[in-house]
Amino acid sequence: MSLKDQPEFRTVWAPDAYPRTTSSPVRYVPVLKDDTVIGYLWAATTDDATQYVPREQAGDPALDAAVAWTRRLRWAKANGVTPLQALRHWAGEGEDPRAGLVPVGPPFELPTLRALEELAAAV
């Protein structure tokens, strides 16, 4: 291997994660940082899928939060927290410097994950 060769990276181990897609309706909560919506945490209503969707207009803080939410959701999966329970698990906690905060309140619902992705992409 020379310095001109591209290194090959392989994942040797990663914690279990929830599925990141669903065809069912989704419940979601906003994720805030400095009183700005930076993304949405969602959970499927009929299966085991959940994920964080960054809001495009929120820029780098929204993308940085994705790393923190991936870690949090892997922790939830490892500890037997269901996706719908995860929506409420962090609600009302103080603002995390990376993940932001989830306000207290009931989740919203949309008929598809695609509809939530469109909401996150809206200006």
pLDDT digits (tens, 9 = 90+) for 3-27: 677 877 776 666 788 988 999 999 9
The domain ranges of the chain are 26-121
- Hey, what amino acid is at 30? P
pLDDT averaged over every residue in the chain: 92
Instruction: Round the CA-based radius of gyration of the chain to a whole number and report it.
Output: 16
Rounded CA gap, 26 and 46, in Å? 9
Q: How many CB atoms lie within 10 A of CB 50?
A: 28
Please provide residue 52's backbone torsions phi and psi, each rounded to the nearest 5 degrees: -105, 135
